[in-house]
Structure 1
Amino acid sequence: MLAELPKGWRAGRLKDLCESIERRLGTNAKLDILSVTKRGVIPQSETYDKEIASEDISKYRVIKPGEFGLAPMALYYGAIGRYRGEKPAIISPAYNVFKHRSETDPRYLEALIRLPRMIARYEALSQGGNLEGKRKSTPYDAFETIKVLVPPLPEQRAISEMLGSLEDVIAKTESLIERIAQAKRAAMRELLTLGIRRAKAPVKRMSTHWVLGRIAEGVTHIPVDWELVTLIKVAKLESGHTPDRKQPTYWDGSIPWISLQDADALGRLTISETAETIGPEGLANSSARMLPAGTVVLQRTANVGLASIMSREMCTSQHFANWICGPTLCPQYLQQVFRHMSREWLRLMAGSVLPDIYMDTFKALQILVPPLQEQKKIGEVGAAFDRRIEHERDTLELFVQYRAALAQELLSGRLRLPDSVIARHRDKPEKAA
């Protein structure tokens, strides 16, 4: 908080802005079940692959549209938010429900309680926890005692409108990215099974059964000049390794070493920089191998399916399957094949405790191989889609950063909106939640 109150603001606590609601389902008809996460209040189906509610849900709390949910046991990392659904639902009895008070703008309250500095306060107030610092709890009565600075209602509304305009831009950018991704999926499915000629391509029935590595279901015919082959026949498969962490000299160097920390970089067409590097000793005393530029690196654990192309010599940890393409296979084409195989990766991970695809599976992977020039054209089309998606994602990240920085300044009073902007919100009736 500021040492000096902004003019017109008052010092208060969160309980001055919101009030707890005690409303149980009882014997009423069953409602949709929600979870309270760091993403906010969302359908339970988006968090778990099955319903995890107990048989007796009579004590579950009812939450109405516009109200807020709070998870005490996960509040320390930001499990709080506003319910944006259109009909009442229920949340676990372990959660809390609250609503904004009459002199509080709900959008302002939503922005305030999700600020990073507020989440830091929740953690400071948390109690308990195991050795890993988890299972801590922040009781609702502690949450509502947090000190805040409270602007007049018209200024709250003006701040909400300003932040809301950026949220609208963020939502539109996210929607645009999804539309481009959908267009790419539709285009690449056709290109990766029929090629550049598409429906005009003369076809033949596949002589070999397509078992692993399928681009799509139900493909029985391919262009006459294509072949279905085992991938290791046209590309060399290499794994990686992690040098001994206990040997500092192994990590003293500038050799790029791709690890799970490089997920963002692996989402781009090429990768040249890594979060960690190793030294010559680390390379010499481990099973890590120096791989040439043009190697297609595929993540096989955690975020399975991320695929990029090394723009220079690099090595990787054991969490990647690396492919050095032979003379009949274009790296850009292989990258697009991997990026289009999201459903296949999910199928191949089935049954694993952790997201993981074993190296033996990759040795049996099959791939459609068009003539080299056609591979290059297909790769170029896919890369054009990806470059546009990368550009929009970069733009989205900037908008998100701007919104976070602006919220921090406006909600602390360090930045004030012009009175002419605030004036438009005076003498307005309270908006519905």
Structure 2
Amino acid sequence: MTSQILTVDDVCLRVTSGGTPSRRISDYFEGAIPWLKTQELRDSWVYETEEHITQTAVENSSAKLLPANTVMMAMYGATVGKLAILGAEMTCNQAACAMIVDPNKADYRYLYYALLNDRSRIIDRANGAAQQNLSARTIKALEYRFPSVEEQRAIAATLGALDDKIESNRRAVEVSRELMRAHYEAVEKSLVRASEVLKPILGGTPKRSLPEYWRGGVKWASAKDIASASGGFVVETAETVSEEGVRNSAAKILPKGTIVMTARGTVGALARLAEPMAFNQSCYGLQAIDRNEASLFLALEAAVARIKDAGHGTVFNTVNMATFDQIEIEVPTSRRLDNLFQEMSAIVLQRLKENARLAVLRDTLLPELLSGRIRVQVEEAAA
């Protein structure tokens, strides 16, 4: 069978959106039916949601029960274009578009990858709209190349194998981090000022007017890179700088493992450097004094969470050197877990780096497979 150019609407049994039950009726949100919000669309399978609703809530709102394998896309706001595949029957809010694929016409995973590959164009469409949103009508009209369903499945299986490994690593990272937090919470701790155990160092930005300072061999983390880091480490950065740029600016290269905190934008976000990196002046590098960074990261992470939960927003309105004299952190009294935290952090970093390599491979293969420039043998994929 030759490939066809078909719209999303052509290959779906239904393209719809959800709804939000009335928040005034608290009973509606005390059920067992998963209710998905667009913040939970993370370009992966989704099996569970933060909130759940009742059958009565479904019947008295625009929320709809959606089957497993439904492809989801965020239509509004900061998450526009984000995707997910439902791993179980769920409902969703009105900001999500739900695509229920006709299995006789398309493989749901193939459609997911087609949308993922087209994300930049989809986001451009949203930005060009009057409301900076997508509509179900716009999504229905998106056109893609669809080979035979068998070939679609073979392509999806190839890409899915990479995503499955990425997801496996992601879960292992989360389990390892939760285990470290549990160990940290269980031990006796002493309250100290952050500046007693961490040395704050402000970052900097090389002159953008000098191109030789940019696109060099040094990764340069912005506050956005820190805030979006997964697994507690910054592995990749949006920009790089040259060593000359570092030498001729306030930027500094700090060693692998250094803790970095954002001082602007999403204030108080934390991550550790996966390798020696520089960073901008919207961040502070925090070098450990006489303790390892893994233990102090857990202590600082817990302190930041407590401050935010308590609503002390003034602490993080403006972060400067004096802020670290004000923040108190609980440091484990004994050092016996320091090596364990360091070893577990090393395993976490190993998994995150593997995921970065797998993501590059997947993103390289994605346009080639979807365009037909690289073909997958259907028989091989089925074997």
TM-score (norm 2): 0.68
State which of 306, 324, 337 in structure 2 corresponds to 1:362: 324
What is the match of residue 171 of structure 1? 167
Instruction: Give 1:320 shift.
Output: 1.6
Task: Tell me what 1:82 maps to.
Answer: 85
More helix by share: 2
Is the CA contact 1:300–1:357 (under 8 Å) kept in the aligned structure 2?
no
Q: Does the 8 A contact of 2:155 with 2:376 survive in 1?
A: yes
1:121 partner amino acid: R
2: distance between equivalents of 1:282 and 1:382? Answer: 34
2-side partners of 1:24 and 1:383: how far apart? 45
Match of 1:112 in 2: 113
Q: Please, which moves more after superposition, 380-389 or 359-368?
A: 359-368
Instruction: Report the Cα offset of residue 65 of structure 1.
Output: 1.9
> Cα deviations across residues 97-129 of structure 1 (Å, max 9, x unaligned)?
33212423443344334323x223323544755
SS in 2 for 1:62: coil
1:240 Cα deviation (Å)? Answer: 2.6
- Compute the displacement of 1:238 (Å): 4.3
Other-structure match for 1:10: 4
Letter matched to residue 8 of structure 1? T
3-state DSSP class of the match of 1:115? helix
* 2:62 aligns with one of 56, 60, 63: 60
Deviation, 1:381, is: 3.2
1:420 Cα deviation after fit? 2.5
Counterpart of 1:157 (choices 150, 153, 159) is 153
1:240 and 2:202 are equivalent in the alignment: yes
The structure-2 alpha-carbon separation of the partners of 1:379 and 1:80, relative to structure 1 and needing over 3 Å to count, comes to closer
Q: 1:415 offset after TM fit, Å?
A: 1.7
Show the counterpart of 1:260. 223
**CA displacement at 1:62 relative to structure 2:** 0.8
Pairing 1:123–2:85 present: no
Contact 1:297/1:321, CA 8 A, preserved across alignment: yes
- Computing the radius of gyration over CA atoms, which structure comes out larger, 1 or 2? 1
Using the TM superposition, give the Cα deviation of residue 347 of structure 1 relative to its aligned residue in structure 2, in angstroms.
1.3
Within a 5 Å distance, the mapping from 1:301-312 to structure 2 comes to 301=263, 302=266, 304-307=269-272
RMSD, matched Cα: 5.0
Kept in 1, the 8 Å contact 2:255–2:275? The answer is: yes
Q: Which runs of 5+ in 2 are unaligned?
A: none
CA contact (8 A) 2:47 2:87 kept: no
Query: 2:75–2:97: 8 Å Cα contact kept in structure 1?
Result: yes
Q: Out of 38, 42, 63, which is 1:39 matched to?
A: 42
Structure 1, unmatched stretches of 5+, are 1-6, 195-214, 216-226, 425-433
Cα distance, 1:308 vs. partner? Answer: 5.4
**Aligned residue identity for 1:399:** L
Distance (Å, rounded) in 2 between the aligned partners of 1:369 and 1:60: 49
How far the C-alpha of 1:16 sits from its partner, in A, is: 2.2
- CA distance change for structure 1 residues 170 and 280 in 2, over 3 Å: closer, same or farther? closer
Q: SS of the residue aligned with 1:414?
A: coil
Q: Is the 8 A contact 2:17 2:93 kept in 1?
A: no
Check 1:43–1:139 CA distance in 2 against 1; reply closer, same or farther (3 A cut): same
* Amino acid paired to 2:99: F
SS in 2 for 1:33: strand
Partner deviation per Cα, 1:116-150 (whole Å, 9 max, x = no partner): 3x2233235447557xxxx4133333323333221
Match of 2:181 among 173, 185, 191: 185
How many residues end up aligned between the 2 structures?
A: 355
Aligned-residue identity in percent: 14
Match in the other structure for 2:99: 98
Q: Secondary structure at the match of 1:85?
A: coil
CA distance in 2, matches of 1:27, 1:294: 47
For 1:250-269, what per-residue CA distance to the aligned partner results, in whole angstroms no more than 9, with x for missing partners?
x9699998652663699559
Contact 1:68 1:99 (8 Å CA) reproduced = yes
1:283-303 C-alpha deviation (Å, 9 max, x unpaired): 5xxxx8x79989965415335
